[in-house]
Structure 1
Amino acid sequence: MNLNKLKQLLKNDEGFKLDFKLKLSLELESEKKEFVKDVIAIANTPGGRGYILFGIEDKTRMIVGIEDIPNNIEERIQQIISNRSVPPVPVKFEAKMINHKMIGILTIFKSMQVPHQMLQTGAFYVRRGSTTDKATRHEIANMLQQFGMLSFENVPCRSATLEELDFDLIDKHIGYMGSYKKQDKLVLSTLGIIAADFERGVYYPTYGGLLLFGKNPQNFIPQAVLEIQYASRIVAVTGNISKILEGFEEIIKQIVPISYPKAALIEVVSNAVIHRNYWNSAQFTSVSIKEDYIKVSNPMSYEYREVKEDRIRINPWLYSRLLIIQQKEKDFHFGIGLDKVKELFGTKEAVRIQTNLVEGLFEVCLPGTRTYET
């Protein structure tokens, strides 16, 4: 790490990816345990590289420095981490002199093996602001999904039966499934709409199947609601994803000016409904419609960011199935992308994208209705 980078880190407050420690002490087992907890938490928290700076007072950011750094300290740190985390977190340790004080810098690299787990306790940790805490159930599931180890959409809903699926709707989009005979069940299972419990000889709808073809998926996925806030009203739109998007389109026809780029708004909401974190059962996807702005917020995945070529897509099974379904409709609008959304508003600056790590939300802010009033 160069000196300018270090100086910049020292100007920042502690947060999700930065921690200050007064001492580097790894003699006692309790010290090693707390050290590895912090390393695991930073590695498991969304974002790029993280850092722990030793020799800094955490409240004042005063540089105190550390003394007597062993020559083999990096090897020792890596051994401590390897013996206590599964899989081991990739790190690098270095020492830098600043203001005549020696600072220890532990770089925690972005890991592609998240989630990391404390071997001795079996716990997973994340950062909440400047503190280390145990990961919640949905945070762990979210991390597993992000790295391809678990997917919400393909998990069988064991509290539901196949009667919860609308087979007329399935037949409309897929064909010949009205009676769902044995061979039809095999096809539906292959498509990911249902899943088999071979030991019991029973089929269950998957959560993805319920979201796309359920009669009332909210009976089993209560978080699958689109909340619309406008004027002094709050409206909850329910049903399967197609019904939710149809309901949203009908509502905005009544409350958004005719000249407003509705296709762009529908695209943003469609992406929010599909790519939201369904492991998070505490939050809805919401649309706040105001004169000054329209904000679409959805519970984000472990990591949801834009890259040059495309966005990381969460729930890809849902996305691909709904894209095929929507292509059959006359008023096809789904899948135009955020770049096209920006074009429809005439300027890229009109669309703002932000992540709220504290609330766990991915937010897209669009121009308000006042801009398009005649």
Structure 2
Amino acid sequence: MNTVQISLPDALALIERDESPFWDQKSLRSGGAVIQKIAVALANTDGGEFIVGIEDQASGSGISLWSGFPNIEESNFIHQSLTSDIRPPVQYSYEYYLVEGHEGQGLACMVRVEKSGDVHYTAANKVYVRRGASSTEISGQQIVDLQLAKGSMSYEDQSLADYSVAELSTEPELQVFLSTYSPHVNPTDFARRERIGDQQTGQAKVSAALLFSEYPSSVVPKRCAIKISRYETAGEPRREHLAFPPITVDGPLRTLVESALERTTSIVESVSVLEPDGSLVPMKYPPEALKELVVNAVIHRDYNLSDDVHISIFDNRVEVRSLGGLAGQMTLELLFTERTSRNPKVLRLLNRYPNPLNQDIGEGLTTARDKMMAARLKAPRYKVEGNYFIATLPHERLARPEELIMEYLAAHEEITNRTARELTGIQSENTVKEVFYALRNVGKIERVPGRNGNRAAWQKV
């Protein structure tokens, strides 16, 4: 049994840590049924941690909320619940914490539960999953869907022959991560606790390299960087449309995403788009929308398949392409209502940074949609094409094409089909013609006399 003495600041950090999909706090008065519920929910979802021995915030504040067990024997019901009452038993590790200077307030038991390939049931034959910061019961078809989504080992758990836990322990990004991690732990113990290193061979796992290696592409056998391309077209990409050779960004996932967003934003804003008043302005997207799509790509892609995440910047859109399609039983229809994770350790540990990239678990695509709508741009589009999941941010205004054309004509004498396509984001020349004809039929516009063929234009009546 591992008993660790932690500092008062570390104890306060645990007490004040907000509950999340990966973290919960329980009173020592919690019975076995409560322990079973949280453990089953974590194992059935993405894994996580819970601590027994901290009272609810409503009952006090500060270190007074630390109310642990007087001795280890008093906590035996926790292990009984995890090993005997849950079917099948969950995979877990645990340790006990004593607070320096406050030893009389007892031992708190920290339990870490791994994501499982099985569906777990409580002794009452109930199935729970984590949704937000709650453990939610599911039944019927929902259990069937969970069973179908289970059963495969994630590539993030593969050991790397040429990357050791000893090398991982020296990585600068891991030092950054652990500088705010509570309770304080050394790199080797952290790798053991989080199961991101093989204890027998000393080899680090793929998840460790992705999260903390300075150059993951040098230690992970498959390609795992981000490639950024600028295509000077609104149509399908071809090599002759490339404005410059694609840019490759590599690094631990946190800095990888931040660097890729910085480079992408700079390139996006170098593209000029036509406004209804006729001015040319830098293309802009809500930063939260672009961030959510890139974060979603690196968290949920299949790292067992060898390709980078591709960010392609066009004259009228940005596409983010990630390998592996949709995970588990996820479908396009379920994107906004269900959760699944191909890389639960990556997902969970990214969420432990002070300002995590994936702060609102399960809400990323909803955030992207809402931010685009708030900016009066059309919502992102999603599709599965072969073995790729493709998210597109269109630079198309929510206003109807007719409104944009009439707004343009309020400041200009005429408008051509090409200008209307640039303005509305419509790629089809014939579709724009239909918009012109509809406006003509209601007496809003007319053809400019003497302008035919490629020179054809329209003016207000």
AA in 2 matched with 1:273 = V
Shift of 1:247: 1.4
Shift of 1:111: 8.8
The answer on 1:305 being equivalent to 2:331 is: yes
**Aligned residue number for residue 235 of structure 1:** 247
Shift of 1:354: 0.7
AA in 1 matched with 2:383 = Q
**Match among 163, 171, 178 for residue 160 of structure 1:** 163
CA distance, structure 2, for counterparts of residue 367 and residue 176 of structure 1 = 38
| Residues 87-116 of structure 1, C-alpha deviations (whole Å, 9 max, x = no match) | xxxxxxxxxxxxxxxxxxxxxxx99877xx
**Aligned residue number for residue 154 of structure 2:** 151
CA distance, structure 2, for counterparts of residue 339 and residue 332 of structure 1 = 13
| Residues 68-105 of structure 1, C-alpha deviations (whole Å, 9 max, x = no match) | xxxxxxxxxxxxxxxxxxxxxxxxxxxxxxxxxxxxxx
**Aligned residue number for residue 203 of structure 2:** 204
| Residues 144-187 of structure 1, C-alpha deviations (whole Å, 9 max, x = no match) | xx52431211222122223542443223222499xx99x85243
**Aligned residue number for residue 366 of structure 1:** 393
SS of 1:160's equivalent in the other structure is strand
**Match among 302, 313, 320 for residue 289 of structure 1:** 313
**Match among 350, 357, 362 for residue 379 of structure 2:** 350
SS of 1:266's equivalent in the other structure is helix
- Any conservation in 2 of the 1:287–1:294 contact (CA below 8 Å)? yes
Shift of 1:323: 1.9
Structure 1 residues 272 and 371: CA distance shift in structure 2, 3 A = farther
| Residues 20-70 of structure 1, C-alpha deviations (whole Å, 9 max, x = no match) | xxxxxxxxxxxxxxxxxxxxxxxxxxxxxxxxxxxxxxxxxxxxxxxxxxx
- Any conservation in 2 of the 1:300–1:361 contact (CA below 8 Å)? yes
Number of equivalenced pairs: 222
The answer on 1:277 being equivalent to 2:302 is: yes
Shift of 1:261: 1.0
CA distance, structure 2, for counterparts of residue 264 and residue 149 of structure 1 = 31
| Residues 247-270 of structure 1, C-alpha deviations (whole Å, 9 max, x = no match) | 112212322236421221111011
C-alpha RMSD of matched pairs (Å): 3.5
**Match among 243, 249, 253 for residue 261 of structure 2:** 249
**Aligned residue number for residue 190 of structure 2:** 187
Structure 1 residues 361 and 187: CA distance shift in structure 2, 3 A = same
AA in 2 matched with 1:250 = E
CA distance, structure 1, for counterparts of residue 308 and residue 391 of structure 2 = 15
- Any conservation in 2 of the 1:305–1:311 contact (CA below 8 Å)? no
CA distance, structure 1, for counterparts of residue 331 and residue 195 of structure 2 = 27
AA in 1 matched with 2:153 = L
SS of 2:202's equivalent in the other structure is strand
Structure 1 residues 256 and 176: CA distance shift in structure 2, 3 A = closer
CA distance, structure 2, for counterparts of residue 285 and residue 253 of structure 1 = 16
**Aligned residue number for residue 32 of structure 1:** none
CA distance, structure 2, for counterparts of residue 163 and residue 261 of structure 1 = 41
Question: Rg bigger for which structure?
Answer: 2
CA distance, structure 1, for counterparts of residue 423 and residue 256 of structure 2 = 26
SS of 1:239's equivalent in the other structure is coil
- Any conservation in 2 of the 1:263–1:333 contact (CA below 8 Å)? no
- Any conservation in 2 of the 1:290–1:368 contact (CA below 8 Å)? no
**Match among 278, 290, 294 for residue 265 of structure 1:** 290
CA distance, structure 1, for counterparts of residue 360 and residue 312 of structure 2 = 21
**Aligned residue number for residue 57 of structure 1:** none
AA in 2 matched with 1:196 = Q
Shift of 1:310: 2.7
CA distance, structure 2, for counterparts of residue 191 and residue 111 of structure 1 = 27
| Residues 291-319 of structure 1, C-alpha deviations (whole Å, 9 max, x = no match) | 12211111125544252523322212111
CA distance, structure 1, for counterparts of residue 260 and residue 360 of structure 2 = 14
AA in 2 matched with 1:174 = L
- Any conservation in 2 of the 1:229–1:235 contact (CA below 8 Å)? yes
CA distance, structure 2, for counterparts of residue 372 and residue 266 of structure 1 = 24
Shift of 1:335: 6.8
CA distance, structure 1, for counterparts of residue 193 and residue 218 of structure 2 = 25
**Aligned residue number for residue 366 of structure 2:** 339
Q: What is the correspondence of 1:96-107 to structure 2 with a 5 Å cutoff? A: none
- Any conservation in 2 of the 1:228–1:287 contact (CA below 8 Å)? yes
Shift of 1:327: 2.0
CA distance, structure 2, for counterparts of residue 327 and residue 218 of structure 1 = 25
CA distance, structure 1, for counterparts of residue 190 and residue 217 of structure 2 = 25
Q: What is the correspondence of 1:13-92 to structure 2 with a 5 Å cutoff? A: none
